Structure formats: structure tokens, C-alpha cells
Amino acid sequence: MPLIEINFDGLVGPSHNYAGLSLGNLAATGNAGLTSRPREAALEGVEKMRANLRLGLTQGLLPPHDRPDDRWLAALATDYASAPSHLKAQALSASPMWAANAATVSPAPDAVDGLCHLTVANLVTMAHRSHEWPETLAQLRLAFADPAFLVHPPVPAPFGDEGAANHMRLCERHGEPGVEIFVYGESGGPFPARQRREASEAVARAHRLDPARTIFAQQSVDAIAAGAFHNDVVAVANERVLFAHELAFEDKAALYADIAAKAPWVEIVEVPAHRVSLADAIQSYLFNAQLVTLPDGTMALILPGEARGNAAVWSWLGEMIAGNGPIRRLEVVDVRQSMRNGGGPACLRLRVVCDPATVDPRFLVDEAKLDRIAGVIEAHWPEEIAIAEIGDPALLDRIRTARRALLDTLGLIELIDR
């Protein structure tokens, strides 16, 4: 079977809450302290996956991690009952839902050894995410146990790596050799630049990429300072198209020249800053959309409802679709619970180009499996979590019971002990 792109969505976990842990993520910090709705959030994610299936896309799933993370707390010489409030919140975070940060993926056609490589992100910049990688590694090594894949452990600290959220791939078709672009940060004004160039270079070496088809580009300092904590908040690529904000990159001219030299068939769709400001792009998550190729070969942009609600963004998109550009269709999904914590449609998925027959089928979904997942969510996910409840033992029991019920339904109960 030819190689195709599969979107593996992170399912929103039952501990989803608004603790405001992510410095530089304006939505997360701006909504800190609000009451979250984990059941609603997870069901929004299920509906997003259903929408992808109905577009003819192949869809996968990554289940939520064990929360609270008692192993991480034990390494800090404490437990949940005794931990200070900030460690409680960090241990309970449902942030693995944003699967774009799970790993960086290089499909087999790009690698010298002909394998599909995945390197788990270390996420060391943020404490609440720094303890995700062991369970992510366990999941990915289970899902991609076939010899067609090689799953690598994370790049060591202190070189921050945030995974596919700072990585783009351009190719004429998904199954053909591509040009991989690693976007790193040097400075972000008041906010940390989360992706280090050293980490990107290490991943490229581990993935056995051809240097002649690999690009390293610096993310704009202004973009990070405006709240674009990952590159995928200001740029997204798919096959022959790079869709980016005018101010996404520190040296746009050099990057575009490099792309033209290595991939002359690429079409760059740039949104001008005078039409859509960085503030509007970040508020609407215009670029944190899924840019996908449909079965008929055309491209669609899967956008959050907030993009339609922003007048400048929706006006520009309307003009783009009315033209003769490569993006021909807009699809709007409701992921407002994720958006309030700073993650749009693209944050929720990890793209893997491979033969679906080589993937553990327990990690792939169809409508019937999504029906079963939705049933578990409706039965077990908390309806609401107020910040004051974070230390409630009854809530912790319910969170763990919910996850176990999901893993049992998926046939992945071995992940309980990861």
C-alpha cells in the first residue's frame, strides 16, 4: 500500500483543567483559574476526529497519560498529598492532549536508511510538560513497533525540543522524498524560546536526513514575543504548500530562497501583516489549522471556530478561497475547550506518513470505535473541574478510573504500567 498521512489526535484527558501553567501561551495564562469542562473537551476532540474521517482522511488516536504523575512527584521526593500547589497542578496537567508536541516525525522516503523515524520531544522548557516523554515514548514504541519504524528517546536536556510543532515537511506527495524544515528560537522577548537549534540538529542527525534536503530556520523574535510559542501558531506546511504569516520567520528572505533552491515546486501562501496582524493570527489560531490533502488531491484547511469569529482573518480567508490558490476548502471545527488552554486543531494531532498496515490497529480509529470512546467519555470523564478541586482525592480517583476504562475499551490496558 502507498504511504499516506495519518493524523494521530491526542484525546483530551479527564484531568483537563485551566491552571495557566504555560508561560508565553496567552490563551493558557489568560484563562487561568476558569472552570474547565473535561467531558465537553474530550467529546469535541472525538467530533474533530469524526470530521476528519468524513473528509476521507485516515485517523489515529493517542490516549491520555496517567495523571497525576506520581513517578515524577516521587522523583521530586514528594507525593500528591504533600506536594505544594504548583507541583500538584504540574503533575495533573492534561497537556499530552497536544500531540503535535509528542515527537518529531521523518517519513521513510526522507531517511537514508529507509525507516520512518520518530524522536520523542523532551519538552524541558515547561515543568508541567517535562515529565510527559517517558509515557509518550512507551505509547509510540507500542503503536510503531513494526520494523518500518525507529522510535528514538528524547534529545537530552538542556536542549529544548518541542516536537512536530516546530517542524514542517514539504514534498510533492506525502509518499515521496521531502524537504524538512526545523524551526528554532533564539529569543522571545518576555517569553522563552522553546525550541533550541542544537535539539533540531540532533533530531535531523538521528533521523538520517540528507543535509541537502534539510533546512534550519529561526522563528521570528517578534512572533514569539506576540504569543507564538511554537512555529505552528504562525506557519503550517503540507505537500507542495507553505502557509505562513508574513512575520513568522526571523530571516524570511533567506528561508524562502533556501526553499526555492531545494524544492522549486513549492508554493508559498503568505498572509500579509497589514491584513492579519500577529495578534489576530494568534487569537484566532489561523495557522494552527490542519492543512490536509483530501482524497481528490485538493487541499483543505481545518480551522477552529475562533478563526471564523475573527473578522480580519475570515475576510482574508474568504478572498483566498475565492482565488485560484492551492487551498480550496475551509472546514471549521469546535475545539473551544482546547483553545482556551492554548491549543488549536493542529496542536491536537501528530502527523505520521506511513503504511497504515504497519501501525498497531489499536491506535487507529473508525466511526464505530469513536462511538465506543464517546460512550466511555460520557460515562467517566468529569463534567467540570474547578481549580479549587485539583487536590480533591475523589477527583483523582475519578480521573484514574476514567483513563483505565478508556484503555480497557481500546485494548491498551498494558499502558497502565507503561
Catalytic residues: 162, 230, 347
List the beta bridge partners of residue 217. 183
Peptide bond into 356 cis (omega under 30): no
Tell me the C-alpha distance between 21 and 132, whole Å.
Answer: 14
Measured in whole angstroms, how far is the alpha carbon of residue 225 from the centre of its chain? 20
- Residue listed under C-alpha cell 464505530: 368
Instruction: Tell me which residue of 303, 223, 229, 221 sits closest to 26, measured CA to CA.
Output: 229
Contact 152, 222 (CB under 8 A): no
Peptide bond into 134 cis (omega under 30): no
* Phi/psi of residue 161, nearest 5 degrees: -130, 125
Instruction: Tell me which residue of 108, 104, 115 sits closest to 150, measured CA to CA.
Output: 115
Tell me the C-alpha distance between 377 and 13, whole Å.
Answer: 9
Contact 22, 128 (CB under 8 A): yes
DSSP string, 225-287: HTT--SGGGTEEEETTEEEEETTSBTTHHHHHHHHHHH-TT-EEEEE-TTTS-HHHHHHHTSS
- Residue 198, exposed/middle/buried by CB under 10 A (0-12, 13-18, 19+)? middle
Dihedral of the alpha carbons of 104, 105, 110, 112, in degrees to the nearest 10: 80
Tell me the C-alpha distance between 14 and 53, whole Å.
Answer: 24
Peptide bond into 68 cis (omega under 30): yes
* Phi/psi of residue 244, nearest 5 degrees: -145, 155
